[in-house]
Amino acid sequence: MNEKCERAVRAFIELGVQGDVAGIVDCFAEGASYRVNAWNDALVGHDAIRQEIERQHSSFGDSRYELTSIGTVDNNVVFTERIDTVHMAGRDVTIHIVGVFELNDAGKITSYRDYFDTQEVETQLP
């Protein structure tokens, strides 16, 4: 299942870069949770996740990423280390992120949370 989960996560990240909101939401299982940053309250369900993804995509564009590491533990938990760059507030903002994805047997995301330092973002904005 490791390869299947990692392929699903890679596809999810690519959909994010492409801005495919419907495709992103389809990657989540019914009742899935998403935490924009691990300490935030979870957004639960397709509608809440869709609203957040749409909000994000209205705030920035020209998304790019470098996947520096990916690995799976317990057959269904995928860890990614990424360097994401987005264009917002008239400039490129680069963020170092660790994402943790939990997937079900069908390869759908049941839980997704990111870990990043908000100060890294703040220091790059005007």
Residue ranges per structural domain of the chain: 2-122
Going by their DSSP bridges, the two strands 77-88 and 91-103 should be labelled as antiparallel
The model's pTM is: 0.92
Q: Is residue 96 classed as helix, strand or coil in its secondary structure?
A: strand
Q: How far apart are CA 40 and CA 17, in angstroms?
A: 23
pLDDT band at 71, cuts 50/70/90?
Answer: very high
Q: How far apart are CA 74 and CA 63, in angstroms?
A: 30
pLDDT band at 9, cuts 50/70/90?
Answer: very high
CATH architecture of 2-122: Roll (3.10)
